[in-house]
Chain A
Amino acid sequence: MFRKFYLLYGFLVLGTSAFGQYRGWSLDTINQLKNVPKSVRDNPGSYRSVYSGYHHYTGGK
């Protein structure tokens, strides 16, 4: 019983990973935005990145 389950499960895992590669899945988390105004191209400063103001690591050991 478990072996049948494992066979199905394994093919599902392989199928999902193949589908993911085909569809261009990634492990990185990227914030998506819609309807960014075309004016950004002419005035890049008008766009406010959600990541600006990031607290930078300035350490080292």
Chain B
Amino acid sequence: MSAPPPPLSGPPKPQAKALNCPKCGAAIVLRSFGQAETVVCASCHCILDAKDPNLAILQQFEIKTSDIRPFIPLGTRGKLRGTDYEVIGFQRRSTQVDGITYYWHEYVLFNPYKGIRYLSEYNGHWNDISICKQLPTSEGTSANYLGEIYKHFQTAEANTDFVLGEFPWQVRVGEHAAVTDFVHPPRVLSSEKLDKEVTWSIGEYMYGREIWDTFKLPGAPPEAMGVYENQPSPVTINVAGIWATFAAFAVFLLVLIAAFDMRAKKEPVLQETYQYNRGDAKSEASFVTDVFELGGGISTVQVRTSSPVDNHWIYLNYALINQDTGQAWDFGREVSYYHGYDSDGSWTEGKRTDSVVIPSVPPGHYYLRIEPEVDPSLPAIPYSVSVIRDVPVFGIYGIAFAALLLPALAISWRAFTFERSRWSESDHPPMQLSNISTSSGDDE
């Protein structure tokens, strides 16, 4: 036997009123102390008039009770937002969109001093709902409640399929209400129109784990499926703010580029033109240049090669050698240029110039060892070699730009895909990007 539930907080000790169903005789427990308008017999599912001392039958409906079981059993108590509540009612509702029926569940919670509030659950997404204290104003596709703007999400007809327990209104199975939802995550503002009566309620998204902890339910809550209309975005940062920061960084980067470009010496230290003659080549075709001095501090050294190749190639084995230390940078560069015509028209491939930047070369006296190799079909060809000290490397800025851009893009994409999923379930097509809020702004 389990221990009896603890009393609800508040001065008087409430006592549940025990009655019997006039149809099947099953015990009816009234927990809401006169606040319920209707109560449903848990045994035969007759809807009874809770205001009538004899519990007059208002409606009977047939359903297999094993089909629908509330996640939170009636009578379960828990502390929600600091107040003890007891679950006194449960209903399953549905709506049809494009021939598909969607079901959700609503729970009626009661505290004798705070009154009634509700929980709703759809596909593992929960909302804590209470009746609005002020009348919201609705204009076109938005609504204003307590100064907060809510965007229209969906209007649908909600049908009541199944009821259990007590309800503070005259509930009926088969009842149809027009429900309109406006969202401002994590809140949802809902209007429910039944006949001529409109009820506004405000809901706040809750995670299943919070519900399970509140009511100390066994096991794990059902996993939330998809993105719900007022589910908070996992991107809790101001995306616009991130882009503003990125723009500031980009400007900073431009300043860096300008500053380092102005600072760079771009000093030519060698400029020579050589002629390759196949007939002159003996056992070794390699040679060395004159010694040149690289002054200043550690810097880049650019080696440029150009040759008027035409459907040929020339390849140069280079070694930049420090005469003083014996340190060498060994590299090979090819200059090749091909062109022609085919069925697609004219084409070209390669370039007649080549450039390479040697990193972090210390100052000192250097020379180049050059060993040319030339297309065997070429008897002779000239080529020029120039060496320039301290040139800026723009590729580094490119990498820096990409590195700055990537996090902003990733965050934006994550926010975009989440909002697209959210709005794909709405009355408004997801491709209307104006619907997609780029920010939830919780990080500011």
B residues apposed to A, CB below 8 Å: 236-238, 241-242, 245-246, 249, 252-253, 256, 260, 283-284, 286-288, 298-300, 311, 313, 315, 317-319, 321, 323, 326-332, 334, 336, 338-340, 342, 347, 349, 356-361, 367, 369, 371, 373, 375, 390, 392-393, 395-397, 399-400, 403-404, 407-408, 411, 443
Contact = CB atoms under 8 A, between A and B. Distances in A.
Contacts of A23: 298, 360
Given A24-B300, A30-B330, A40 B336 contact: no
Interface residues on A, range: 35 or more
- Most A CB contacts (10 A, CB to CB) among B246, B349, B393 go to B393
Contacts of A6: 242, 245, 407-408
A51 B319 CA distance: 10
Contacts of A50: 330
Interface of A: 1-3, 6-7, 9-10, 13-14, 16-18, 20-28, 30-38, 40-41, 44-45, 47, 49-52, 54, 56-61
B397 A30 contact: no
Contacts of B328: 32-34, 36
A37 B325 CA distance: 9
Contacts of B411: 2
A12 to B, nearest CB: 9
Contacts of B357: 26-28
Contacts of A2: 236-237, 242, 411, 443
The 8 lowest CB-CB distance pairs between A and B, nearest first, are: A51-B332, A45-B284, A60-B338, A26-B359, A49-B317, A17-B400, A26-B357, A44-B286
A49 B317 CA distance: 7
A33 B286 CA distance: 18
A44 B331 contact: no
A60 B359 contact: no
B336 A44 contact: no
Contact of B327 (A9, A17, A32, A52): A32
Contact of A24 (B236, B241, B339, B360): B360
A18 B243 CA distance: 22
Contacts of B283: 45
Contacts of A1: 237, 443
B392 A51 contact: no
Contacts of B318: 49
A7 B400 CA distance: 14
